[in-house]
Amino acid sequence: MKRVGVVSRFLLGLLLGIGLVVVLWLLLLAGQAKRPVPTTQWVDQAFAYKLSIANAIDRPKLVVVAGSAAMFGIDSGMLERTLGRPVVNLGVNAGVLSPYIQHYARQAIKPGDWVLLPVEYPMYNGRYSINYPFLDYWWENPGFRHVDVNTAQLAQVLWLTPLSRVLSGYRGLPAGFAVNGLYGPQNLDQRGDQVRSEASQQQVWMRGLVEHSEVERYGADAHRWNANWASWKALADEVTAAGGCAIFMPPPLLDRPAYHQGRELHYYQSLPEQARAHGLNYVGSPLETMYPIEHFFDTNYHLNAESRQLYMQQVVQWVAPEFAKCTTSMN
């Protein structure tokens, strides 16, 4: 009986100790929430800049909603001339995932606006997954009310946050900090498109990033992800209910032999049909927006400036008739 009592006290002490550590960790996490850190500033400032463009337009416009593949791949001026309405490119960073991208889209879209969504492939799935860019951004912009973050994602944020990110939160921004480099508002034009991405400006390390970029396994992994169709359908329905039109299409992607066989080929071939089956107006073929390595700037999703025109030929061919139908249905 004495031994049982000792074991019981030991287990109770262990549980209390674990509980205390958990509470202290949660308090540590909470203390650095909402504090700006250097790694998220280019995203914050790029979204703020693009939203200011959108809010300055006082007539029906077209809003491009996606991640950085749209920031590098879309020529908003060409869309503006083709479709006859102002365009703002809201693409910034797919890494912050659909909860934040949809949140900012709702701030930019007004009644009667058209919306073009060349959304990167992971955002159609990944409903219960996170990545480090999302985690990093979440702590500066906690998504309890204004962003649709589910319980599973919140649990992952609390569990997967590294101590280095917590310490970064407490350090905050260095004195005199300013966003510089390739990404951020300093390299965006008056419509939100990326500038200074010509092939001649590609540095050796950028070419290396493209060459060593991951061969994506969206087809192989799709069965393990909870699909995220409903959140995109909700956004599209809001646009339609407000007198607008939302059209989805494939983003540009670095072509790989693996994408033309087996599960990967089936994924890309079937994606448009799946999207339409879930109520999205999806046009085009993913296999037709895959390009060789010489067309990419610094990632497997970022076209160089010259190749933007190659992608835009497909964009205009697919979406112009759909937006024309939208105009006809409203008249």
**Which pLDDT belongs to residue 89?**
98
Read off the pLDDT of residues 88-147 as tens digits, 9 standing for 90 and up.
999 999 999 999 999 999 999 999 999 999 999 999 988 778 899 999 999 999 865 567
Alpha carbon distance 64, 119 (integer Å): 9
Alpha carbon distance 297, 310 (integer Å): 14
Q: What pTM was estimated for this model as a whole?
A: 0.93
Alpha carbon distance 231, 83 (integer Å): 27
- C-alpha torsion sign, points 202, 207, 209, 214: positive
Least confident of 38-42, 79-83, 157-161, 203-207: 157-161
8 Å CB contact between 101 and 117: no
Strand ranges in the chain using DSSP code E only, listed in sequence order: 62-64, 87-89, 114-117, 245-248, 253-254, 290-291
**Mean pLDDT estimate for the chain:** 93
Is a pLDDT exceeding 70 seen at residue 7? no
Is residue 160 helix, strand or coil?
A: helix
Higher model confidence: residue 330 or residue 282?
282
Q: How confident is the model at residue 15 (pLDDT cuts 50, 70, 90)?
A: confident
Q: Nearest 5°: phi and psi at 117?
A: -125, 85
- Domains of the chain in start order, with CATH, are 61-330 (3.40.50)
Q: Return the half-sphere exposure (C-beta side, CA atoms, 13 A cut-off) of residue 70.
A: 30
Q: How confident is the model at residue 1 (pLDDT cuts 50, 70, 90)?
A: low
